[in-house]
């Protein structure tokens, strides 16, 4: 049986770049974490050590900095610029994937900022055509009531009690695929607002039900999207038994646990896409 090289890529992970637009009316801050991954005719470097087709990862890092000099703009546009450049400038490279985390900052004053909740994400693949994903990670949300969980199978190892009233908390990660280009900033803000409004407005019988309601709300309202993938870790809040201290606990005191946790994930898509 022959041993052959399979799918492969290489790149520069997590290049941190910050730009400051020193507008006299108020500075503007962009804070990114950029990862590049290139694929193509790279078998020689793996099989013989011939690096003739290998653009150094240090050069990829420097490209990020150089491209940032004239402004970054929206993360999706910046990722597309980089991805196109690597494919179009390197004969051996046929596919480039650029992933960006955009850390959000709110301005406090002319040149003062505070880190905002959640991290915006963008991912662009270019191999002659563009495929663009946008998203958000680590957006922590909580409903303190209107959440139940009951009616599940019981086996010899089940100790979880059914509940008709619980805290539902999660750190939302979502990625959505675009069908083309759009107003990236407007689309992103609208999707995040739909996700938050649906989380807040859904009476939850399971986190799975809440997830699907959130994904459906986004696709119902945003025709520029083909699908959305959500990951919702269940951040458990356990009512504390205060009876040893002669106290009741009418849904007031909880122990917030960080692990282990349930992890609910699903893709919501349009039928036929």
CA atoms of 263 and 265, how far apart (whole Å): 7
Long-range residue pairs from 159-168, CB within 8 A, at least 24 positions apart, any chain: 165/251, 166/237, 167/142, 167/143, 167/237, 167/254, 168/142, 168/143, 168/204, 168/207, 168/210, 168/234
Of the listed 12, 85, 178, 235, which one is catalytic? 12
Q: Which of 85, 188, 235, 236 is catalytic?
A: 236
Does the annotation count 110 as an active-site position? no
Question: How far, in Å, are 141, 179, 180, 209, 255 from residue 204 at the CA level?
Answer: 14, 31, 33, 7, 21
Specify whether 57 is catalytic.
yes
CA pair distance 146, 251, nearest whole angstrom: 13
Active-site residue flag, 236: yes
Active-site residue, from 19, 57, 137, 179: 57
Residues carrying an active site annotation: 12, 57, 236
């Amino acid at each position: 049986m022959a041993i052959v090289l399979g799918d492969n890529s290489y790149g520069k992970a997590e290049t941190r770049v910050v730009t400051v637009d020193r507008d006299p009316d108020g500075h503007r801050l962009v804070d990114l974490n950029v990862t590049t991954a290139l694929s193509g005719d790279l078998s020689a470097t793996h099989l013989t050590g011939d690096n003739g087709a290998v653009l150094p990862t240090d050069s990829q890092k420097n490209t990020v900095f150089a491209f940032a000099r004239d402004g970054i703009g929206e993360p999706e546009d910046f990722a597309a610029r980089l991805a196109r450049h690597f494919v179009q400038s390197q004969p051996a490279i046929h596919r480039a994937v650029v992933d960006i985390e955009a850390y959000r900052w709110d301005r406090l004053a002319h040149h003062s900022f505070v880190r905002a909740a959640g991290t915006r994400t963008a991912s662009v693949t270019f191999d002659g055509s563009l495929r663009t994903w946008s998203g958000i990670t680590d957006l922590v949300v909580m409903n303190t009531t209107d959440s139940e969980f009951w009616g599940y199978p019981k086996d010899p190892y089940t100790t979880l009690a059914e509940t008709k009233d619980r805290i539902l908390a999660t750190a939302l990660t979502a990625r959505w695929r675009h069908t083309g280009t759009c107003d990236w900033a407007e689309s992103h803000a609208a999707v995040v607002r739909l996700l938050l409004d649906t989380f807040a407005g859904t009476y939850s019988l399971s986190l799975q039900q809440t997830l699907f309601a959130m994904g459906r709300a986004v696709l119902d309202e945003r025709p520029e999207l083909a699908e959305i993938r959500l990951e919702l870790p269940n951040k458990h809040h356990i009512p504390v038994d205060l009876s040893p201290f002669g106290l009741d606990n009418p849904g007031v005191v909880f122990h917030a646990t960080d692990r282990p946790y349930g992890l609910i994930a699903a893709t919501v898509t349009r039928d036929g896409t």
